[in-house]
Amino acid sequence: MLIKSLVLKKEFLTTVKETDTLAEALQVLEDTGFRCVPILDESGQIFRGNIYKMHLYRHKSQGGDMNLPVTYLLKNATKTIPINAPFFKVFFNIKDLPYIAVLDENANFFGILTHTALLAMLSESWHIDVGSYVLTVMSISGPNGRGDLAAMSKILARYTDLASAITLDAKGTENVRRTLFTLPAGTSETTLNTVVAKLEKKGYRVVEIDDLQSGQPLRSDEF
């Protein structure tokens, strides 16, 4: 379970109970510096929602009663994912949230998956520590481009190993696909130039080359 390995478990989290007051919740947020924390039921098992510092400040500034229960300003009550959810569903649920609540097999609160953890996982797919260059290659999307990924990978495999490959489909009506190939550390410039030439000879346009070690682009053409 990929999600489970990224989750911050509830025993390591700051939370508030649904019976806490708005004033008590605000004190917790001010003491910890968090912008929001989960609200749990009295048992600490059921996720009720989130409480945000900004909503507490707004309520207080407008003369609102700070002795009301924290659930008065509860948000994101339905923003949860099961721990065994397909990973791609995370992207449809987390969106602008700082984190999303994760529920275990019994629908009890297990912990949270943060934007930071998600981005860290995605950044690892670039293999920056073990990569040398990233090639951004354009190819045709749709039926006419069937087999392009296999063909491009076959060209690269003749001269080098691959650290990773990520395919991005263009939005809108563009009939192109962008594939990012990360070459392993130790790849020479000679090998780099060879694979670029071979790809382009077969009609695959290498629009960008990034040097992971220097952090500088070696090529950056217009898309």
Domain regions of the chain by residue span: 2-121, 131-220
23-41 pLDDT per residue, tens: 999 999 999 999 999 999 9
The pLDDT score that the predictor gives to residue 173 is 47
Beta strands in 104-187 (DSSP E): 109-114, 131-140, 164-169, 176-184
Q: Where does 131-220 sit in CATH, by number?
A: 3.30.70.260
* Per CATH, domain 2-121 is 3.30.450.20: no
pLDDT of 49 strictly over 50: yes
The pLDDT score that the predictor gives to residue 142 is 56
Cα–Cα distance measured from residue 17 to residue 20, given in angstroms and rounded to the nearest whole number: 5
Judged by average pLDDT, the poorest of 19-33, 45-59, 159-173 is: 159-173
- Whole-structure pTM value: 0.69
Q: Which residue has the higher pLDDT, 105 or 116?
A: 105
Cα–Cα distance measured from residue 117 to residue 129, given in angstroms and rounded to the nearest whole number: 18
Give the residue-averaged pLDDT of 10-15.
Answer: 96
